[in-house]
Amino acid sequence: MNGHLVLAGGGHSHALVLRRWAMHPQRRPPGLITLVNRSSQALYSGMVPGLIAGIYCPDQISIDLRQLADQAGVALVIDEIEGLDWPQRMLRLAGRPPVPFTQLSLDVGCVTRTDAPGLQPIKPLEPALQFLQHQDAAEQQAIPFQVVGGGLAGVETVLALRRRWPKRSLMLRTREGHPQSPFRKAMNRAGITHCPTPDADMTGVRGPGLLCTGSDAPAWLAEAGLPVDGRGRVRTARTLEVLDHPGLFATGDCGVIDADPRPASGVWAVRAARPLARNLEALSRGEPLRAWRPQRRALQLLGSGRQPHGNTAWALWGPLLIGPHPWLWHWKQALDRRFMAMFKRQTMTQGRQRTTAMLCRGCAAKLPAAPLEAALRSAGLERLGTAPEDAAPIPGLKDCQGPPVLQSVDGFPALISDPWLNGRLTALHASSDLWACGATVQSAQAVITLPQADASVQQLLLSQTLAGIRSALEPQGAQLIGGHTLEARELCSAPLSLGVQVALTVNGTPTAALWPKAALQAGDQLLLSRGLGTGVLFAAAMAGTASASSLDTALAQMATSQHPLLRQLQALDQRHPGGLHAATDITGFGLLGHLGEMLRRPEVRVDLLGDRIPALPEALSLLAAGHASSLAPANRRAWRLLDPEGERPAPVQLQLGTIAAGSADHRTLLELLVDPQTCGPLLISVSPAFAGLVHQAMPHQWTAIGSAQAC
Ligand SMILES: Cc1cc2nc3c(=O)[nH]c(=O)nc-3n(C[C@H](O)[C@H](O)[C@H](O)COP(=O)(O)OP(=O)(O)OC[C@H]3O[C@@H](n4cnc5c(N)ncnc54)[C@H](O)[C@@H]3O)c2cc1C
């Protein structure tokens, strides 16, 4: 059965399923597959105590789900799952409409039981790790830091904390008789106070501290009416299919095989990956599912902290406990590192030919300026190329009473595999052409091209895309008033959601005078609304070299509407008319290309402050390493503005400030200037007095990147 398979949660089982499909694309079920996770990275639990101890840094223990999904041909949605409507086959998400599915697999882990308010639960891990970072500042405090829970997680965590905070007073609070005596001895050696509490009584226990007191599956699983055990874990058959729920699977800490229950542990989540993948594949082919019988017990290696002779670990096999011994620690480290190495891009693509060309998407998929201008010339439309405005007044309506009605159109092949976010980004990108003219968007029409797929998948992609477009338009008071759909004639490789192409016309009117693009005045300050670098970041992401956190930052910036900035600028412009002289938005031609479009008056040039131009995290280092968007080489023709041939002075004088001329940083800056932007910044040219008002009204929002000077 094809359709839409949703993988809820990027836990260990799902990460390994994706790895399998990345390495063997022929095994991936056909149709659309989407992974939903609350963040773009998943932590490998086996190395978490090492991270707490400071032995590893976060990157070493994080699986980059965006890259993994990309390699596996799976769409990625980053959002918090809030609930499940099984009868309607809908997954409810926090920040957007629900996601429909035909099959669902759950691997969302568990959450720590919070029976002691004031203490931080260890699960979910991310907030617990942040809490520990805040606690670093309190290392010298006299109040002991408490870890509550005598299980393996509690023991390993408190020993890791000893290494993190060698001097801080630490206490392990457990039930009477816990933990086992070898662990208590280790505690003693590490100077950790052990405090057994009768009947696990937590009254009067105050923070700061961490709760490692056992866990339950997230409550929304039981609330969805799924069959659960006493800890809220979803009960499954040996096929990992949920009892009486065909097409629904559960693994890892959030699931339990009714006939073979195993404790919540990463080991079992890892082991379940293969049978889960096989059964998801079998289901897609209409074949019978296969039962999996997990072995009775699994080996566990547990870090036991730093001893005089170095790091050591214990090995546990059922009731048998061996160690602590340095050799066991080396073994554990080697196994953990080998696990993480499996997710390296090179490992996953070994022996696999990359068939698709590495062409950039988003705004970087535009035609370069030179062929565009030549084509316009030969079609008798030269003025569109030589004097372009960001939006054009609609001719028939121009001379009516009131402000002109402006129109613009923009769009591109999907930049990301999440159709809702992609719709939102395209609508924000198209709107910025009107914002750059001082106009609010009032209406839009969309042409949406969908990939060849089942009608139900096309419907899903279309409805998610439309919802994303609405999320960008409606807060502006704008409406989507019509459009058309097309079906692509060429086949799209997975994920199908990357085959969506959206183009939008946007219409609107300026509240006061239209902001022209090329009316810079000598003495103006040039203000940029946000950092550059989306082109290179997404180019590097395709090559697998951009970090997950940098892409998260870039996407968060891009998904933030600049409409509130427009409203504030409009208000300032109305109260102080005449101070805002020119504006544009930075898109496909990069900062320098669009600045060139502003410089049509020969009596004005621009001094650009090279070391003040803001860049997104990692953009400069990626440019320095030689990454570039596929549109960047064509955009480099704008460098002529910096150094024109002949007698004419340069229309743009690049002032390097702290950057040494001819240095690698200088070359990187030149590349940043031509990096094509999707949902890029607004650039305004304003009088110094108006610039002061802008900074006052929107502190820290705008960066002064240069000034206009008389030639
Ligand atoms: C300190 C500590 C040390 C441990 N050490 C070990 C060890 O050495 N070996 C071992 O086998 N086990 C260990 N464990 C247990 C281990 O962490 C878990 O058993 C394991 O992570 C379970 O894997 P999973 O695939 O079920 O889910 P997880 O690894 O917890 O992954 C679940 C994923 O789902 C996402 N998610 C959850 N809820 C939502 C939501 N509502 N919306 C969107 N996304 C969501 C999460 O962000 C996460 O990426 C340890 C646990 C702790 C606390």
More confident position, 381 or 269 = 269
Name the residue at shortest CA distance from atom 31 of ligand 1.
11
Whole-number Cα distances in Å, 450 to 68, 431, 434, 486, 503: 24, 22, 26, 6, 12
Percent share of the chain, pLDDT over 90: 76
Which stretches of 311-418 are DSSP H helices?
326-341, 345-349, 369-378, 382-386, 395-398
pLDDT-wise least confident of 113-127, 346-360, 589-603, 607-621: 346-360
> What's the mean pLDDT in 282-297?
95
Q: Is the dihedral of CA 129, 133, 139, 144 positive or negative?
A: negative
CA of 635 from ligand 1 middle (Å) equals: 45
Q: Which atom of ligand 1 is nearest to the CA of 9?
A: 34
Is the distance from CB of 580 to CB of 515 less than 8 angstroms?
Answer: yes
Ligand 1 first shell, C-beta below 6 A: 9-13, 37-39, 42, 45-46, 48-49, 80-81, 107-109, 122-123, 153, 156-157, 218, 252-254, 264-267, 269
Distance 112 CA to ligand 1 centre (A): 11
**What mean pLDDT do residues 606-619 have?**
97
pLDDT score of 201: 66
Q: How many residues are listed for the chain in this entry?
A: 711
Ligand 1 centroid distance, CA of 570 (Å): 48
- DSSP helix/strand/coil, 683: strand
Atom of ligand 1 nearest to the CA of 301: 8
* CA-nearest residue, atom 11 of ligand 1: 266
Q: Using CA positions, which residue lies closest to atom 20 of ligand 1?
A: 266
Ligand 1 centroid, distance to 432 Cα (angstroms): 41
Mean pLDDT of the chain: 91
- Least Cα distance to 81 among 69, 94, 90 occurs for 94
Distance 45 CA to ligand 1 centre (A): 6
Residue minimizing CA distance to atom 3 of ligand 1: 153
Enter the pTM of the model.
0.93
Residue 380 burial (CB count, 10 A): 8
Q: State the chain's maximal CA–CA distance in angstroms.
A: 90
> For position 602, what pLDDT does the model report?
82
* pLDDT for the residue 420: 98
Pull the structure tokens for residue 689: 């007095």
- Please tell me the distance between residue 376's alpha carbon and the centre of ligand 1 in angstroms: 57
Query: Ligand 1, from 17, 108, 158: best to mutate by most atoms within 8 Å of Cβ?
Result: 108
Q: Please report, in angstroms and rounded to a whole number, the separation of the first and last CA atoms in the chain.
A: 69
pLDDT at 357 over 50: no
Please tell me the least confidently modeled range out of 230-239, 373-382, 386-395, 652-661. Answer: 386-395
Taking residues 530-549, report their average pLDDT: 94
CA angle 440, 446, 449 (to 5 degrees): 150
pLDDT of 355 strictly over 60: no
Mutate to test the pocket of ligand 1, among 14, 45, 223, 271 (most ligand atoms within 8 A of CB): 45
For residue 212, the ligand 1 atom closest to its alpha carbon is 53
Question: How does pLDDT run across 440-454, given as a tens digit for each residue?
Answer: 999 999 999 999 999
Distance 110 CA to ligand 1 centre (A): 7
Q: How far is the CA of 152 from the centre of ligand 1 (A)?
A: 14
Task: Take atom 50 of ligand 1 and give the residue whose Cα is closest.
Answer: 45
On the 0-12 / 13-18 / 19+ scale of CB atoms within 10 A, 567 is: middle
CA of 159 to the centre of ligand 1 (A): 20
The answer to whether residue 398 scores a pLDDT higher than 60 is no
Which residues are paired to 526 by β-bridges? Answer: 685, 706
Nearest atom in ligand 1 to 82's CA: 41
